[in-house]
Amino acid sequence: MRLALFPAILLAAGIVLPSPAAADPLTYAEALARAAANAPSLKARAATTDAARSSAIAADRLPDPTLDLGISGFPVTGPNAGSLTRDDFTMATIGFSQQFPNLAKRHARAQRAAAEIGVAQAGELVEARNVRLETALAWIDLHYGERRLAQLDLLSASLDDLQKTVTARLASGSARPSQALEPEQLRAAVADRRAEMVAVVAQARARLARYTGNSDPEVSGDPPALEVDPDRLRASLDTLPALRALDAGIAAAEADVRMARADKRPDWRVGVSYGRRDPAFGDLASVGVSVDLPLFAGRRQNPKIDASKSQAQRARFDREAGERELVAALDADLADHAMHHERLRNARETLVPLAKRRAELDRDSYAAGKLDLGTALLSTLALAEAEVETLNREAEVARDAVRITITYQEERP
């Protein structure tokens, strides 16, 4: 007797079931665009860049002038104590002073502020790429998760027909009573796999909602056909945001060195004041200049210069280490991608055809009474597992392509 289960399973490989009614279907490109527009982390990075630009405006400006008000020569003892007019020394003063940091220090501050803008912009690029990558992977996981879930649902629905077949064979006396339990065992195994896949789909949907802002996102369309070009990727490593962030760190550290060196040059201050006295004695005006004297550089400025030089050297070493890490990571990802491609080819060309052929042979043997139902069910389950595993491997290849192209592709202005 031929089981209704087997034709359904054999057709599963060629069937692409439509996804359930989508609350807000997103293609791959739409998901990336929506994440770029809505991700809060990107807005936070943009605000950081705006703050750095605003701070740079005042970086090399002169400090605000100082208003000085006072009374000098006020008598507190003697015959004129407490009087503002009877003592020829008493004077009310008003004055202004302006500090002038040395020009090298002002230039260094401007360079440091420009470096901070570079650091903020690099951080914005890094976060944008991270958001794009996580959104893309969430879309891929949701797409393939729903396809695998549909495959398992098809198998689960086919078990009802199997149960009817077993019940009929029991009624006719051609099957053992224990065989009535075998469809239930298979259904339990499928239920376990389905529960796992439901969790995978829910997790992917939650990740996609996080970046796109959709409360209940659904996917539509096919995954992108991404071409991985190893030579081009290796040639464009220097443009990656991760390395640009390290370059910006080097620029900031070198600006700190220039600021430390500028401290060895004296700052100066100019002050003017006007003193008002009793008209009998006349008013006074004063002008003064004060100059810093960095006379003890060996214990003050020089140690700071050495420390900033060490920090700049550390930033350069970090950059070299970051480049080596990216090269190694790219080679490892390319190796994984090649391996996953080979596994997918093996599944499509060998594992699934063999599982399908075995299921067909076991089906015919069972129908001819030469094979027990349990063995036939195992063959059916093995075919379903092979189909789901093929989707798993296809998802791995798609994830690899997305991760490699987004992580290592050239950053264009």
Asked whether residue 335 is assigned to any structural domain, the reply reads yes
Backbone conformation region of residue 118, classed left if phi is above 0, alpha if psi is from -120 to 50, else beta: alpha
Residue 289 maps to a domain: no
Find tokens 């057709």 and name the residue.
11
Residues with Cβ within 8 Å of residue 343, at least 6 apart in sequence? 393, 396
Q: Which of 412, 406, 395 is nearest to 31 (CA)?
A: 406
**Helix, coil or strand: residue 119:** helix
Q: Give φ, ψ of 288 to 5 degrees.
A: -145, 155
* pLDDT (mean) for 248-261: 92
DSSP 206: H
Mean pLDDT of 17-45: 79
- Let me know: does 212 contact 135? Beta carbons within 8 Å: yes
Instruction: Give the whole-number percent of the chain exceeding pLDDT 90.
Output: 51
If you average pLDDT over residues 360-371, what whole number do you get? 80
What CATH number did the domain enclosing 372 receive? 1.20.1600.10
Q: Can you tell me the distance from the alpha carbon of 151 to that of 335, in angstroms, rounded to the nearest whole number? A: 30
| CA gap 296, 302 in Å, rounded | 9
What's the mean pLDDT in 267-289?
86
pLDDT band at 272 (very low <50, low <70, confident <90, very high): very high
Contact (CB, 8 A) for 386 and 347: yes
Give the orientation angle of helix 5-12 with respect to helix 103-172, to 10 degrees.
160
Domain holding 108, by residue range, is: 5-62+101-263+300-408
Number of domains in the chain: 1
Residue 110 lies in a domain: yes
pLDDT for 72: 79
What is the number of other CB atoms lying within 10 angstroms of the CB of residue 269? 16
State both tokens at 347: 């599944």
pLDDT digits (tens, 9 = 90+) for 149-199: 888 887 777 666 555 555 655 555 555 555 556 667 777 877 888 898 899
The C-alpha atoms of residue 180 and residue 174 are separated, in whole angstroms, by 12
Domain presence at residue 226:
yes
Helix/strand/coil for 75: coil
Cβ(59)–Cβ(110) below 8 Å: yes
Q: Which residues pair with 93 in a beta bridge?
A: 70, 275
Q: Is residue 211 part of a domain?
A: yes
Report, as an integer, the average pLDDT of 282-288.
Answer: 87
- Domain-located, residue 224: yes
Domain presence at residue 86: no
Strand-pair category, 66-72 with 91-100: antiparallel
Structure tokens at 91: 């004077």
Evaluate whether residue 285 is within a structural domain.
Answer: no
Residue range 324-352, pLDDT digits in tens: 999 999 999 999 999 999 999 999 999 99
